[in-house]
Amino acid sequence: MASNFTRKFTLLLICFTSIISYGQQKGIVKTARNAPFGIVSFSAESKLAGMGDTKHVDGYVERAGKGLQIFPVGNKGSYRPFATDEDGVNGAYFMENPDFATLPLGAPFRVNTKESSIAKVSTREFWDINGNAATKLSLTWNITSNISELTAGNLSQLSIVGWSLSNARWEKIPSIVDEISILGDASSLASGSVTTLQPILPDNYTAYSLAGLIAAIPTPNVSGKLEVASCSEIRGWMWDENYPERVLTIELVEGNTVLTTVNASEYRKDLVDSGVGTGRYGFSIATPSILMDGSSRQISIRLKNSTIILTGSPKSLSCGFGGVLESADCNTVSGWAWDKNYPNGEALTVELVEGNTVYATAIASTYKDYVKTAGYGTGNYGFNIPFPKALKDGNMHQLSARVKGTIYNLSGSSKSVTCKVSQYSGSFNSIDCDVITGWAWDSNYPNSAVVVELVEGSTVYATSTANIYKESLKIGGIGSGNYGFSFGMPASLRDGKPHQLGIRVQGSTVILAGSPKASTCDVHRYLGSFESADCNTVSGWAWDKNYPNGEALTVELVEGNTVYATAIAGTYKD
């Protein structure tokens, strides 16, 4: 229902704690139903326990979070929850004949004013459900709903219906009875749930109810395939041939244990090319870390709220990642990682992560003697990651090491690390057309070498690691003294043009003292010697200092402006 009420007050979750925390305690929370109505609000992490006729919310409920969310609503001592899978929804249950309803706004909702495909609308109950984001919607029933009378004993004729304010009638919303209801039991005439085939906008209808249709809804015809089950992903597709627009929700299961759920809605061009509907039936699941224990597992794909198992199930999976995040400090993060199933295979790539953010990667290929001694293959599985500068911010970070392409975290994750902000200093000492020199260090991390950049404006021309020993620095009390740098003038700056060059600490905005320095270097720097000349031979040597390995120079024997001979200066002279 499009909401035109003023903003309701919200009962904080703490107000409902006594009801949801004690399985045997009776309790019904009531809220005002006329606008502005009150709402009991649940966080995404809230868990419902012991809900029923004696414990529910008699009024409006909202729940945060995506994924299946059950709304514990009831009325007049009857518990009748509904469910959605999108955030921003609220609603209430009304145990009364819609014909005589006075609430919500827009009531009453005449049960005999309906689409021709609808045989009978329930005279016992309806729901007011609000939200402006598309979501699947599930409604429930029990014995007092009298579904047998509503459908003439044919459960396949049951459907969700909505009251259209613009058309002033009840309209069929394509729905399927859940084989397994949202409350966990098999659906029957006595109890169960029914779910829309497609996501709908709750605000498109003023009220929702259950109805019996003139004709039974076609039986779902589900097919597809579990195609791939690897240590990085589980992939396949599933669709309902009778309802090609239906978005199916699938479960990854091991036996009766549900490991995760996803919607089969990814676009697959190969399915379209094969004539499989719209092609939006694919799914891809990152292999859960619980399966990464080296043992053989049998996994299957099942249609949610059913017993339908996808073709290709079960598949055997044996994923044997192992390793340890051994240490993490402000200099280095180290550990080891291997694939038990392929101990001689390609080395694993390890990611240093905090939450979902990847800060660095490393190849786990360094030999560790104690790893081999402990019986782990060749022992060539170690890694060392320089601690990222971005994390040296004075804040505490919780870091984990993860095998790239998986969600498998190494044993020992996570580790808490707090590192002081770097304090850079140094000097840009000299520059000529051959060599650039200076020094740089991080006084908070004197044992870590700093990388510097030769810059002009925002252009980086070269980089160098400041790790050359300088006696003068050590004597001057600058740590170990191992902070010097020296690198050649880049060829791109030998262009005959004036440049203003500076030295910057990489990954920072710190410019070293002595910056900028002016530099103008010719494109070519010719040097050589005319060594001898007699009546037999003229000899000497010539080179371009800027391009010592370039093409050999051609020299001319001249008198005034007259050229008498030429030669290639390419002979080796010891």
pLDDT at 2 > cutoff 80: no
- Residues 184 and 52 grouped into a single domain: yes
Expressed as residue numbers, the domain containing 354 is 349-418
pLDDT at 5 > cutoff 50: no
pLDDT, tens digit, for every residue of 282-296?
999 988 878 877 678
pLDDT, tens digit, for every residue of 113-125?
999 999 999 999 9
Asked if the bond preceding 548 is cis, omega within 30° of 0, the reply is no
Q: Which of 162, 191, 190 is nearest to 175 (CA)?
A: 162
User: 14 to each of 11, 20, 39, 43, 92, how far by Cα in Å?
Assistant: 8, 10, 13, 11, 20
- Residues 66 and 209 grouped into a single domain: yes
Q: What is the mean pLDDT of residues 158-187?
A: 94
pLDDT, tens digit, for every residue of 421-444?
999 999 999 999 889 999 999 999
What confidence tier does 380 reach under pLDDT thresholds 50, 70, 90?
A: very high
Spatial distance between the Cα atoms of 283 and 273, rounded to a whole number of angstroms: 17
pLDDT at 547 > cutoff 90: no
Domain contains 338: no
> What is the percentage of the chain residues whose pLDDT exceeds 90?
69
Collect all residues with Cβ–Cβ distance below 8 Å to 153 and sequence separation of at least 6: 189
- Residues 404 and 260 grouped into a single domain: no
Which residues, in sequence order, are bridge partners of residue 228? 235
Domain contains 336: no
Q: What is the mean pLDDT of residues 464-470?
A: 97
pLDDT, tens digit, for every residue of 319-373?
888 899 999 999 999 999 999 888 888 999 999 999 999 999 999 999 999 999 9
- Residues 433 and 364 grouped into a single domain: no
Largest CA distance in the chain: 127
Which pLDDT belongs to residue 35? 76
- Residues 498 and 538 grouped into a single domain: no
In the predicted model, what is the mean pLDDT of the chain? 90
**Which token pair is 37?**
């109505």
- Residues 367 and 432 grouped into a single domain: no
Residue 159 has a CB neighbour count (10 Å cut-off) of 25
User: 538 to each of 173, 203, 391, 528, 573, how far by Cα in Å?
Assistant: 101, 98, 66, 14, 15
Domain contains 3: no
Spatial distance between the Cα atoms of 128 and 79, rounded to a whole number of angstroms: 15
- Residues 194 and 303 grouped into a single domain: no
Residue 454 has a CB neighbour count (10 Å cut-off) of 23
Which pLDDT belongs to residue 60? 96
Residue 573 has a CB neighbour count (10 Å cut-off) of 8
pLDDT at 7 > cutoff 60: no
- Residues 384 and 448 grouped into a single domain: no
Helix or strand or coil: residue 273? Answer: helix
What confidence tier does 8 reach under pLDDT thresholds 50, 70, 90?
A: very low
Domain contains 307: yes
Which pLDDT belongs to residue 320? 81
Contact by Cβ (8 Å): 465, 485: yes
Residue 370 has a CB neighbour count (10 Å cut-off) of 10
> What is the percentage of the chain residues whose pLDDT exceeds 70?
95
In the chain, the number of structural domains is 5
Domain contains 6: no
Which pLDDT belongs to residue 217? 74
Spatial distance between the Cα atoms of 274 and 285, rounded to a whole number of angstroms: 23
- Residues 73 and 147 grouped into a single domain: yes
Which pLDDT belongs to residue 11? 37
pLDDT at 23 > cutoff 50: no
Contact by Cβ (8 Å): 569, 556: no
Which pLDDT belongs to residue 1? 47
Residue 276 has a CB neighbour count (10 Å cut-off) of 18
Pairing state between β 55-58 and 27-30: parallel
**Which token pair is 417?**
């690390």
Domain contains 15: no
What confidence tier does 218 reach under pLDDT thresholds 50, 70, 90?
A: confident
Q: Which of 66, 20, 200, 202 is nearest to 127 (CA)?
A: 202
pLDDT at 409 > cutoff 60: yes
In this predicted structure, which of 6-15, 28-37, 127-136 has the lowest mean pLDDT? 6-15
Domain contains 324: no
Asked which of 418, 442, 471 is the last residue of a domain, the reply is 418
- Residues 516 and 547 grouped into a single domain: no
- Residues 55 and 181 grouped into a single domain: yes
pLDDT at 20 > cutoff 70: no
pLDDT at 159 > cutoff 80: yes
Nearest-5° Cα angle at 480, 477 to 481:
75
Give me the sheet containing 366-367, strands edge to edge: 321-328, 332-339, 380-386, 366-367
Q: What is the mean pLDDT of residues 77-105?
A: 96
DSSP string spanning 399-451?
Answer: EEEEETTS-PBPBT--EEEE-PPP-EEEEEEEE-SSEEEEEEEETTSTTSPEE
Q: Could you tell me the pTM of the whole model? A: 0.51
pLDDT, tens digit, for every residue of 263-278?
899 999 999 999 999 9
Sign of CA pseudo-dihedral 506, 509, 514, 517: positive
Q: Which of 288, 286, 385, 299 is nearest to 337 (CA)?
A: 385
pLDDT at 523 > cutoff 80: no
- Residues 76 and 176 grouped into a single domain: yes
pLDDT at 16 > cutoff 70: no
Spatial distance between the Cα atoms of 364 and 345, rounded to a whole number of angstroms: 12
Helix or strand or coil: residue 373? Answer: helix
pLDDT at 21 > cutoff 60: no
Asked which of 358, 384, 418 is the last residue of a domain, the reply is 418
Domain contains 337: no
The 10 Å CB-count burial string (b at 16+, else e) for 62-90 is bbeeeeebbbbbbbeebbbbbbbbbbebb
CA atoms within 13 A on the CB side of 376: 21
> CB-based burial of residue 274 (10 Å sphere; 0-12 exposed, 13-18 middle, 19+ buried)?
exposed
Q: Residue 244 sits in a domain of what CATH number?
A: 2.60.40
Which pLDDT belongs to residue 26? 57
Asked which of 213, 245, 280 is the last residue of a domain, the reply is 213
Q: What is the mean pLDDT of residues 215-232?
A: 87
Q: What is the mean pLDDT of residues 494-509?
A: 93
